[in-house]
Structure 1
Amino acid sequence: MLRLTAALTTGMLALGALAAPLQAFEIEAMTPDERTIFRSEIRDYLLENPDVLMEAIAVLEQQRVAQGAVAEKAMLEQNRQAIFEDGFSFVGGNPDGDVTVVEFLDYKCGYCKRAFPAVEDLVNTDGNIRFVVKEFPILGDQSTLAARYAIATKITQGDDAYKKAHDSLMTHSGNVSEPFLARLSKTLELDHDAIVAEMDSDEVTRVIDTNRALGQALQIQGTPTFIMGETFVRGYVELDQMMAIIDSIRAEKG
């Protein structure tokens, strides 16, 4: 930025016709000819020193990231209860863990499925992570059907049954249909009739609508989206990246 300032100064000094001192320089006060000279000086300088543009772009990107972090912090504070303690989302891992990881996911999302083994490894090997699942169906009817099945399973048959259904849906690569869900219930030895009776209930609809509203409030537009501690991670990340983020969170806590 210092170099860009120097370029601007060079351009201004080149305008010998300016009567006002440099400190009182105003672009609006330039004549058309003076503006042409000024712009030419700046253009020539930037062409000769393209690294100045790169420096300026880097500064702007840093500012954008900083502003985004401030906005995300504010969104998190405004929705803290709904994110971490909504009373209906599945909580796995260590319920008393020192770091909470929340995942917004869609059972038809390829990147969610790709992230699933990494998330499992992270939670199981760390041993001190509280893991919260937010069903966030955004990819069509099959996504919604799968989410309703998972939520209904949790409501009617508890967390253990939900975890089995969740894992199966995350590793399933084909279509999600009513016949498939019936077969899945049989394989997992779940009460399918009870699940089906609950799938279209007001409570299941409320959970999905609440998650979607929360996602909108947090400006979540895709899956997977993670909230690790108080850090938003929008999109797929590798296991080593997840571990590095968790380590950073713990280091900040001291």
Structure 2
Amino acid sequence: MRRLAPAALALGLAATPAAAFDIGAMSEDERSMFRDEIRAYLLENPEVLMEAIDVLERRQAAEAVANDKALVSTNMESLVDDGYSHVGGNPDGDVTLIEFVDYRCGYCRKAFPELKQLIEADGDIRVIYKEFPILGEDSITSSRFAIATQLAAGEDAYAEVHDALMTLRANPTEEVLARMADDLGLDGAEIVAKMDDPEVERRIQENHALANRLQISGTPTFVLGDQMLRGYVPLASMQEIVAEVRASEG
């Protein structure tokens, strides 16, 4: 049986009206030949597959960005004004950066000094921390202690403990955390006792519910403007995104 050249096949299909080209109306022999032609063409031109995969990946990435923007828009009030999340940086800043953080997350720790550099150097970024412990009991204990600090000693104390937890190398037992707080000039025993306050658990559960609505399953996750940034973002890239957000909102 003579095979159609791939180019001739493509030209023939392009010239055939959609209504006239009905694969379902083909005979088994015609369908088999059609499949063989496609297979032969792809084997002879494998770069077509890579082009198709590239188009698919770019399309899926664009769809994911659009979906994330819609999720951020729907949940914006809970993100920026839940009534309990710590607000740092410049509270009146023109750009808001929100971080879902787990103190035992290696990438959160990697991002930590770069975020501090970004916030301090810029001077006009409001940062909101969402306690989102997902990596086991040490993560939960650390977040409970941070929230208990906020309840017992206020926002400035929370900021100090947050930074200390991000660099803590020891296992975060209650004894270790109390000692850490004492070293910061806080009352460690009082904060440990506050960890059992139902409000601590409520806040953690609220953050988990919000993360679920945003389809967040990992840390760090950032919300910057209307964008969701899933995972570690280098300082230079974060600076570029901040500039883009300012330009779009200015």
Residue pair 1:186, 1:192 contacting (<8 A) in 2 also: yes
The AA in structure 1 aligned to 2:86 is F
For residue 250 of structure 1, report the CA deviation from its aligned partner.
1.6
Q: Provide Cα deviations, 1:208-238, integer angstroms capped at 9, x if missing partner.
A: 0000111111111110001111111100111
* TM-score (structure 1 length as normaliser): 0.90
Q: Would you say 1:132 and 2:128 are equivalent positions?
A: yes
**Partners of 1:12 and 1:80 in 2: how far apart?**
51
Return 55-64 or 100-109, whichever deviates more. 55-64
* Alpha carbons of structure 1 residues 90 and 44: separation in structure 2 relative to 1, 3 Å: same
Q: Provide Cα deviations, 1:153-199, integer angstroms capped at 9, x if missing partner.
A: 01111111111100000011221101101211110111123212211
**Partners of 2:8 and 2:75 in 1: how far apart?**
48
Structure 2, unpaired ranges of 5+: none
For residue 253 of structure 1, report the CA deviation from its aligned partner.
2.4
* TM-score (structure 2 length as normaliser): 0.92
**Partners of 2:23 and 2:146 in 1: how far apart?**
63
1:227 partner SS: strand
Q: Would you say 1:81 and 2:77 are equivalent positions?
A: yes
1:101 partner SS: strand
**Partners of 1:27 and 1:37 in 2: how far apart?**
12
For residue 9 of structure 1, report the CA deviation from its aligned partner.
6.9
For residue 70 of structure 1, report the CA deviation from its aligned partner.
2.1
**Partners of 2:109 and 2:169 in 1: how far apart?**
9
The AA in structure 2 aligned to 1:33 is D
Structure 1, unpaired ranges of 5+: 1-5, 15-20
For residue 11 of structure 1, report the CA deviation from its aligned partner.
5.7
Return 45-54 or 105-114, whichever deviates more. 45-54
Counterpart in 1 of 2:147?
A: 151
Counterpart in 1 of 2:16?
A: 22
For residue 240 of structure 1, report the CA deviation from its aligned partner.
0.6
Residue pair 1:145, 1:176 contacting (<8 A) in 2 also: yes
**Partners of 2:57 and 2:152 in 1: how far apart?**
48
Q: Provide Cα deviations, 1:126-148, integer angstroms capped at 9, x if missing partner.
A: 11100000010001111111101
Q: Would you say 1:10 and 2:9 are equivalent positions?
A: yes
The AA in structure 1 aligned to 2:91 is P
For residue 79 of structure 1, report the CA deviation from its aligned partner.
1.0
The AA in structure 1 aligned to 2:46 is P
How high is the sequence identity, in percent, across the aligned residues?
51
Counterpart in 2 of 1:95?
A: 91
* Alpha carbons of structure 1 residues 40 and 128: separation in structure 2 relative to 1, 3 Å: same
Which of 38, 41, 59 matches 1:45?
41
1:223 partner SS: coil
Which of 59, 63, 70 matches 1:67?
63
Q: 1:210-229 counterparts in 2 under 5 A?
A: 210-229=206-225
The AA in structure 1 aligned to 2:232 is Y
For residue 7 of structure 1, report the CA deviation from its aligned partner.
5.4
**Partners of 2:179 and 2:162 in 1: how far apart?**
15
For residue 38 of structure 1, report the CA deviation from its aligned partner.
0.8
Q: Would you say 1:181 and 2:177 are equivalent positions?
A: yes
**Partners of 1:38 and 1:190 in 2: how far apart?**
77
Return 84-93 or 64-73, whichever deviates more. 64-73
**Partners of 2:172 and 2:27 in 1: how far apart?**
69
* Alpha carbons of structure 1 residues 9 and 140: separation in structure 2 relative to 1, 3 Å: farther
Which of 247, 250, 254 matches 2:246?
250
The AA in structure 2 aligned to 1:201 is D
**Partners of 1:229 and 1:190 in 2: how far apart?**
35
**Partners of 1:245 and 1:74 in 2: how far apart?**
18
**Partners of 1:220 and 1:44 in 2: how far apart?**
43
How many aligned positions are there? 243
Residue pair 2:98, 2:224 contacting (<8 A) in 1 also: yes
